[in-house]
Structure 1
C-alpha cells in the first residue's frame, strides 16, 4: 500500500470560523488598560501636531489606539485617505 503524504497546514488553510486574525475592538484587548506604548505616544504627537490638537497625557493603549484612529481620519492619514 502506498504511503500518503500530508502537506503541512498553511496560514491560508485556516478555517473560515478562525477569527484569531480579526481586528478586535481596543476595548476588548487584554492589554488595553496598560499605559500607551512609546510608539503610540510618538505617533499621537505627530498626528496631533498636524491636526492642531493636544495629546492627552496618560492614555491607555486602548484609548491611544482610538485617538490615533480619530486623528488619522482628521488628518487624512487613515486607511483610504490620500496624502
Structure 2
C-alpha cells in the first residue's frame, strides 16, 4: 500500500482545517515575526493557526519570499503533475 502524500492534502484551505481555530504554533509565530519585520509591519500575537497561515502567505507575497515556491506549485499543476 502506498503512503504517497497528495498535493490536495497540502493545499487544503486553512479555513477548512480541523485545528484551524487553535492558537498558532511556535514556528508560525517565529516565521511571522521575521516576515513582519521584513515587511515593516506588526502581527497580532493572538492569531489562530488558520489566520497565521493566511498572514504568512500574504507577507510572503509582500516580501517576495513565497514567490519561487508558488511558481513551482503552479507549474506542476499546469503540467498535470
d(CA) in 2 for partners of 1:62 and 1:49? 20
In our comparison, the structure showing a higher alpha carbon Rg is 1
Give structure 2 stretches of 5+ with no counterpart.
70-81
Aligned to 1:51: 39
Give structure 1 stretches of 5+ with no counterpart.
1-8
Residue 43 to residue 19, structure 1, CA distance change in 2 (3 Å) = closer
Matched, 1:10 2:30: no
Higher-helix-fraction structure:
2
Q: Give the CA deviation at 1:56.
A: 1.1
Task: Please provide the CA RMSD for this pair.
Answer: 2.3
Aligned to 1:73: 61
DSSP-derived class of the 1:21 partner: helix
Q: Give the CA deviation at 1:11.
A: 4.2
Q: Give the CA deviation at 1:10.
A: 2.8
d(CA) in 1 for partners of 2:17 and 2:56? 16
The count of aligned residue pairs is 69
Mean CA deviation greater in 41-50 or 71-80: 71-80
